[in-house]
């Protein structure tokens, strides 16, 4: 039996992001550098809680943004088949492909596919259709219900729209592991490239705000009235956000052959499940520890080689306590610089791991660690080296990004600087 070929090195050659910080990587960079709080009231639907629970909402004109995306015919009929999650995904994915120098024809030629992490999917559109039907019924107006939301509600609509617009004839896959979905999409797509099954893959996550997510987290009593303050001793909870982020994953030899610049390498991926509780993490962070250690082992690096950890850091009481303990178990107390970017974007749910992979890639490129915005007084559960202002990190080689989701779904990615 012939021996399996060695795994190929996987490079990130393109980045795309959209969310509360604005459209594009440049807007994100500016917000991170300035320490700008981008959260504010939700205005996608009327609610008395708008002033009480800030959110990370994209404030731009998504339909205008779509007009610049190759392969998207923006007209009334096509827009009806796109949910807000779809639009966010299309804009971010197109940005990543453009930076990688791959237009739809070239993506088609190399057989690129896409893996997408989602949780909200088309829920916002379904809610709007339901509210319209309910309002009509209360007025005694009964007519045939519109069926548009039934075509767009499922998560598969986003990957289908991405495939159609960017001519992706490779594998498409939707992943739903709650708030670790985007990170898992990147880890699994990178594994496909490493195995030689694809030369190019797009991977990331996308989620829009919705009533059910907004009110659902409020009912769980984990939403903060003054926004998230990750790892703060007096933190009060999270803020829901929306957004999308995608990366172009490419075999390093393939990227070099076409003259593409590697921005970072995906060197490690770990995934675990707490098997503990539907919403609460394991109190000692057992699953988080396992995911981080698996990612380090996969990357072939030691804890001391990691120069920065982008924490999941939702600012909920349970997450920050258990993540701090898990980080101390893996790296030692104060053993590695840590920050969370949740106050910049809000918690973008299934997109969070992908957004933070983009942040980590830029961290490697600029050798500047993003700040833990909102911190006043550090928690005492475990001593962490929290980054309180943007910090220069010359010689930064490896970073780790954590993403933890409901059901105890934990993912960790190690990204490394290209040689």
127 and 210 in contact (C-beta within 8 Å)? yes
- Reduced to 3 states (helix: H, G, I; strand: E, B; else coil), residue 50 is coil
Q: Which residues are catalytic?
A: 179, 312, 347
* Angle, in degrees to the nearest 10, between helices 211-219 and 123-138: 90
384 and 334 in contact (C-beta within 8 Å)? yes
Supply the DSSP string of 280-308, one letter for each residue.
SPPTT-HHHHHHHHHHHHHHT--GGGEEE
256 and 379 in contact (C-beta within 8 Å)? no
39 and 227 in contact (C-beta within 8 Å)? yes
Q: Token pair for residue 269?
A: 């991926």
Q: Select from 64, 289, 291 the least CA-distant residue to 187.
A: 291
Rounded to whole angstroms, the Cα distance separating 377 from 169 reads 50
The phi, psi pair for 193, rounded to 5°, reads: -65, -45
* Angle, in degrees to the nearest 10, between helices 286-299 and 317-331: 40
Specify the DSSP class assigned to residue 350. Answer: G
E strand segments, 326-397 = 337-339, 368-369, 385-386, 391-392
Q: What are the angstrom distances between the C-alpha of 304 and each of 204, 296, 335, 338, 347?
A: 28, 10, 8, 13, 29
């Amino acid at each position: 039996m012939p021996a399996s070929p060695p795994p190929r090195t996987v490079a990130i050659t393109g980045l795309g992001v959209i969310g509360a910080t604005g459209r594009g990587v440049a807007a994100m960079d500016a917000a991170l550098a300035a320490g700008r709080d981008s959260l504010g009231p939700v205005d996608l639907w009327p609610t008395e809680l708008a002033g009480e629970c800030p959110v990370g909402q994209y404030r731009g004109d998504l339909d205008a943004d779509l007009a610049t995306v190759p392969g998207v015919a923006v007209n009334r009929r096509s827009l009806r088949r796109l949910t807000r999650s779809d639009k966010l995904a299309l804009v971010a994915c197109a940005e990543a492909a453009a930076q990688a120098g791959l237009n739809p024809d070239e993506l088609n030629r190399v057989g690129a596919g896409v893996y997408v992490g989602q949780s909200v999917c088309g829920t916002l559109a379904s809610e709007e259709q339901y509210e319209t039907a309910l309002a009509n019924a209360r007025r005694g107006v009964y007519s045939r219900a519109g069926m548009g939301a039934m075509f767009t509600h499922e998560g598969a609509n986003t990957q289908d729209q991405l495939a159609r617009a960017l001519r992706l004839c490779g594998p498409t896959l939707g992943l739903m592991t709650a708030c670790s979905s985007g990170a898992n999409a990147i880890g699994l797509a990178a594994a496909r490239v490493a195995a030689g099954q694809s030369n190019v893959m797009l991977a990331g996550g996308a989620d829009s705000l919705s009533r059910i997510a907004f009110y659902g987290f409020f009912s769980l009593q984990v939403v903060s009235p003054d926004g998230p303050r990750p790892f703060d001793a007096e933190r009060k909870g999270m803020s829901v956000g929306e957004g999308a982020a995608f990366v172009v994953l490419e075999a390093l030899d393939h990227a070099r052959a076409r003259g593409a610049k590697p921005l970072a390498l995906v060197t490690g991926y770990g995934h675990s499940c707490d098997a503990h509780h539907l919403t609460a993490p394991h109190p000692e962070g057992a699953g988080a520890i396992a995911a981080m250690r698996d990612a380090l082992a996969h990357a072939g690096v030691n804890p001391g080689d990691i120069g920065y950890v982008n924490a999941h850091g939702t600012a909920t009481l349970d997450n920050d306590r258990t993540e701090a303990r898990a980080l101390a178990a893996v790296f030692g107390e104060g053993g590695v610089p840590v920050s969370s970017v949740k106050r910049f974007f809000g918690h973008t749910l299934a997109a969070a791991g992908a957004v933070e992979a983009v942040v980590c890639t830029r961290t490697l490129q600029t050798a500047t660690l993003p700040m833990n915005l909102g911190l006043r007084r550090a928690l005492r559960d475990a001593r962490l080296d929290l980054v309180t202002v943007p910090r220069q990190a010359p010689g930064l080689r490896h970073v780790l990004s954590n993403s933890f989701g409901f059901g105890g779904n934990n993912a960790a990615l190690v990204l490394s600087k290209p040689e």
